[in-house]
Structure 1
Amino acid sequence: MAKFTDLQSYSDNLASGYKPLPFRFMPLNSTKYVLTNMAGEFIVTDRESLATFSEGRLSHNSSLYDELKSKHFLIDSDSDVALDLLALKVRTKLSPLANFTGLHIFVVTLRCEHSCPYCQVSRANDNRTDFDMTEDTASRALDLVFQSPSPAIKIEFQGGESLLNLDIIEFIINEAKRRNEVERRDLAFVFATNLAVLDERALEIARQHGVFISTSLDGPQDLHNKNRPRPGGDSYERTITGINRARAIVGRDHVSALMTTTAASLDRSRDIIDEYIRQGFRGIFLRALSPYGFALKTKFYQSYNHERWLNFYFEGLDYIIELNKSGFNFSEQYASMILRKMLTPFQPGYVDLMSPSGIGIGAVVYNYDGDVYASDEARMLAEMNDKTFKLGNVHEDDYEDIFLGDSLLDPIEKSFAPSTPMCSWCAFEPWCGSDPVFHHATQGDCVGKKPYSAFCGRNMAIFKGLVERMNDDPETRRIFEDWANG
């Protein structure tokens, strides 16, 4: 196991030249290498310059020297604060860990009137109220919510179709706000809904409490209705009507949409993006399928591999870049989160890009029956009779049992990328995250064998693609900087 050189050795060697600080590197393409440091700063250079720098022969007069010094890849006798600045940047990157769990997902019902073949959850018919969360379960879950040290609490209502149990949603909102009169947290609520059953009562609750609304939009009418069937075949029409009604009540910025890529989507990246633009959205998350629930049972997850999805992704990304160059501001949201890690000292807070893993730390799920899961994906895995990531039950376990138990702490410890095999020497480690639930589901091990990991394959390709586009085109870099700071 490689170890960092002790602090004194850096000081002893400065009088005669410079000392490289800890960094990693890997080929970007056939001619360039990318170097990263512990804080996620990066530099692109050629092989010869990399060798010259690492061997201590780089001239103080070169522009590369100045760039390496300014980004904390080296220290010399001119500066005695570089190590402190590097430590400050690393500390800033890791600071969200102190807040622990900010997103609390309440699965208020499994009932749903859609029958999406890629659904990751076993749905119940919309008349099966035995799959609804009760007030007792909700109250016990709220006890756990407000024991989180996070100053900001977001409660998201999911299903099934969450709005089919509007009574419990209203109860949870009112009870959470009552408790928050004492707690004084930054409290927010989200309806995750397909909008098909959106009614005036739900809209009034959203208006009264400033609720955010998150829905699904897979693309143009034919594609959306194919991916998301419901009785009457009018899922798209109901979604668009619901988006417009919700915007009129809670405001445009309170309504967002998420797409899922199916095999039918792969040749239609531009059509999907154009649909989002037609509906007035300012960005899109080009999201791959996940290996859980019905998506496996119906063979939807196996319908394409991650290489085919990457072709879809980069075709869409390049189209979005061209739109921005033509003066139309529109972002790809997954790239934006990665770029925030690449280009700023801050973290996006997205669970899949957290190291150690964001399960339990970034988000936690309270199922309708009181079972507590480390993430939404962990709940989906449980629907496949694998409860590896079940943390406990609100009726049986207290906060310490659930959040300090081995079911959560063991995978979090193993998911810390700087100490994980292959991740620990990967140049992209500062930008990446860890997904123990995905690797357990696909490989039977929460660390996983990285050369066989679709999670790693997708992310590494995206990291390289983003760096190459920034390195090749200053205008693209400017666009990406806007996304990172947006």
Structure 2
Amino acid sequence: MAHAVFQPRSAYAPRAGYRLLPLRFGHLDENTYIVTNDVGEYVRLDRDDLVAFVERRLAPDTGVYKALKSRHFLYEDDSSVAFDLLSLKYRSRAERIAEFTGLHIFVVTLRCDHSCQYCQVSRQSEDSTQYDMTVAHANKALDLVFCSPNERIKIELQGGEPLLNFPLVRHIVERAQELNQHHRRDLQFVITSNLSRLSDDVLLFCNEHSVYLSTSLDGPADLHDSQRPSRGSSSHQKTIEGIHRAREILGTDQVSALMTTTPRSLHRVHEIIDEYVRLGFHGIFLRSLSPYGFATRSLVKRYGVEDWLDFYKRGLSHILRINAGGYLLREDYTTILLQKMFSPLGSAYVDLQSPAGIGIGALVYNYDGAVYASDEGRMLAEMGDETFRLGHLDEDSYEALITSEALLSPLSETLLEGTPMCNDCPFLPYCGADPVFHRATQGDAVGHKAFSAFCAKQMGVLQHVIRLLETDAEARDILLRWV
């Protein structure tokens, strides 16, 4: 029997020759760089190592070389494994585009019983029923919902205050479930409500049909009431009572809350976070203002990106301390970015997609039958700019809406890999295009990135999160548990 002949140890040593795979790099801070690839892998390098890497002078036995090789930044001349793994990861992250529209937003009314200072839409008084969606339009919208090929469908019922038109909410949910007996989709419902009209009938209905509730909570009572005033009593009290009642009937995980950062919020981030902890929430989204609706006439001009970034950093530090103390609390925006960094499928968050998530990620059916490519596109239309209006339920088929120039044009313009200043940005894999924001702030769907508040915010957050991941072991451990 022949014996196998083994090569000497030297034959198995890494070869010095290597080639670069596609990459981007940029400053992380004054002394270090971040290098990223198309699938979100990253390595932090000092300048000397970066120069040696791109000049192909790195020694194969160094830690830097091994990190770059394992994360698909280089390949050795005699191996195609790196190509195969990189292409597999890229396909996995891009699969969501083929799934197409999963989020469908029904604006069932513009009527509202609150007068929020940062309201993004043109709210109407409680008796203005002409601003309610009709049953006929709701049915046509439901037909379009099931034209989407996505196997997971979420129907979000918005306003105004959607519970002011609860009969239509009931009809939409029941009709969707009836249609789904044929279509067999994974169907989910969310009502976005201030909870002031949360009756026993509404709660029983939500329990019977597995409907989630999403509300707004801006922090302690005085802050919440000053930003979300309602007639007759404290809006904060109504919201807290609604949260407790909903949890008793639906369960703790069936109710979520969202805050909005205003100038009044900037110096109270610890109090806001502590209010969420006091109420037993395990997630908080430190959301900045949007440049739409009433906010453009007052609040949005009173603080800039740097103000919000300072608010965010102080808030994230407080959240990390709370986690270190044994209470799980995620910052939801950070979690989305971490998913884009470390999850093989990235994140489905509509506002951070390339090409943009408008249309592909979400469709909006307005109370009047108009169809928009995003909720922000609807808000922009309320301000007189109908750039992102795709058509009308009475006039257009699903095919006509999805292939309309109002959708195809911004999609073709918002592929980051072909967008000036995005195509070579190291944060491209974790970012996305927001054509509605840039249209609202710069009059152009692409925008000039050097002057973009969206870009400044993204870069500021990502730089901060990556520094924490790379320089603070305790913070890294906590952050990775959120993914």
Q: TM > 0.5 between the two? A: yes
Partner residue of 2:3? none
Amino acid at match of 2:263: A
Partner residue of 2:470? 471
Alpha-carbon separation, structure 2, partners of 1:479 and 1:35 = 23
**1:397-436 mapped onto 2 (5 Å cutoff):** 397-436=396-435
Alpha-carbon separation, structure 2, partners of 1:321 and 1:428 = 23
2:441 aligned with 1:442? yes
Secondary structure at 2:286 match in 1: coil
Amino acid at match of 2:40: G
**1:9-20 mapped onto 2 (5 Å cutoff):** 17-20=17-20
CA contact (8 A) 2:19 2:77 kept: no
Shift of 1:348: 1.8
Alpha-carbon separation, structure 2, partners of 1:256 and 1:78 = 52
Shift of 1:461: 0.5
Alpha-carbon separation, structure 2, partners of 1:257 and 1:34 = 34
**1:267-286 mapped onto 2 (5 Å cutoff):** 267-286=267-286
1:393-424 Cα offsets, whole Å, 9 max, x none, are 01111111111111001101101101000000
**TM-score of the aligned structures, taking structure 2 as reference length:** 0.96
1:457-485 Cα offsets, whole Å, 9 max, x none, are 0000011000001111122111111112x
Shift of 1:80: 2.4
Alpha-carbon separation, structure 1, partners of 2:390 and 2:471 = 46
Partner residue of 2:88? 88
Amino acid at match of 1:44: R
2:396 aligned with 1:358? no
**1:213-362 mapped onto 2 (5 Å cutoff):** 213-297=213-297, 299-362=298-361
1:352-371 Cα offsets, whole Å, 9 max, x none, are 11111001111111001110
Partner residue of 1:198? 198
CA contact (8 A) 2:260 2:286 kept: yes
Partner residue of 1:164? 164
**1:5-154 mapped onto 2 (5 Å cutoff):** 17-77=17-77, 79-154=79-154
Shift of 1:385: 1.0
Greater Cα shift, 145-154 or 323-332: 323-332
CA contact (8 A) 1:38 1:430 kept: yes
**TM-score of the aligned structures, taking structure 1 as reference length:** 0.95
Alpha-carbon separation, structure 2, partners of 1:431 and 1:480 = 16
Shift of 1:15: 6.9
Amino acid at match of 1:279: L
Secondary structure at 2:106 match in 1: strand
Secondary structure at 1:104 match in 2: strand
CA contact (8 A) 1:389 1:408 kept: yes
CA contact (8 A) 2:414 2:446 kept: yes
Shift of 1:327: 2.1
Amino acid at match of 1:174: E
Shift of 1:317: 0.5
1:79-105 Cα offsets, whole Å, 9 max, x none, are 321101001111111110111100000
Partner residue of 2:173? 173
1:95-137 Cα offsets, whole Å, 9 max, x none, are 1011110000000000001011110111111111111111100
Greater Cα shift, 446-455 or 79-88: 79-88
Distance 1:272 1:224, change over 3 A: same
Partner residue of 1:187? 187
Alpha-carbon separation, structure 1, partners of 2:475 and 2:127 = 51
Secondary structure at 1:105 match in 2: strand
1:423-461 Cα offsets, whole Å, 9 max, x none, are 000000011011000000000000000011000000000
Greater Cα shift, 469-478 or 179-188: 469-478
1:236-280 Cα offsets, whole Å, 9 max, x none, are 000000001111111111100000000000000000000000011
Alpha-carbon separation, structure 2, partners of 1:176 and 1:130 = 24
Partner residue of 2:383? 384
Alpha-carbon separation, structure 2, partners of 1:233 and 1:457 = 39
Secondary structure at 1:215 match in 2: strand
Partner residue of 1:10? none
What's the Cα RMSD here? 1.0
Alpha-carbon separation, structure 1, partners of 2:464 and 2:407 = 33
CA contact (8 A) 1:92 1:345 kept: yes
Alpha-carbon separation, structure 2, partners of 1:254 and 1:418 = 38
CA contact (8 A) 2:24 2:37 kept: yes
CA contact (8 A) 1:225 1:233 kept: no
Shift of 1:326: 2.2
Structure 2: which 5+ residue stretches go unaligned? 1-13
Shift of 1:16: 5.9
Alpha-carbon separation, structure 1, partners of 2:346 and 2:403 = 24
CA contact (8 A) 2:214 2:258 kept: yes
Shift of 1:344: 2.0
Partner residue of 2:9? none
Amino acid at match of 2:397: D
Alpha-carbon separation, structure 1, partners of 2:220 and 2:273 = 9
1:194-242 Cα offsets, whole Å, 9 max, x none, are 0011111111110000001000000000000000001024100000000
Alpha-carbon separation, structure 2, partners of 1:310 and 1:233 = 33
CA contact (8 A) 2:15 2:60 kept: no
CA contact (8 A) 1:119 1:295 kept: yes
Partner residue of 1:459? 458
Shift of 1:324: 1.5
Secondary structure at 2:127 match in 1: coil
Alpha-carbon separation, structure 2, partners of 1:384 and 1:292 = 8
Shift of 1:30: 1.1
Alpha-carbon separation, structure 1, partners of 2:292 and 2:467 = 33
Secondary structure at 1:259 match in 2: strand
Amino acid at match of 2:196: A
Amino acid at match of 1:215: T
Q: Which runs of 4+ in 1 moved over 3 A?
A: none
Amino acid at match of 1:346: L
1:259-304 Cα offsets, whole Å, 9 max, x none, are 000000000000000000001100100000000011112x111111
Amino acid at match of 1:462: V
Shift of 1:78: 5.8
Alpha-carbon separation, structure 2, partners of 1:322 and 1:204 = 38
Partner residue of 1:11? none
Partner residue of 2:6? none
Amino acid at match of 2:123: R
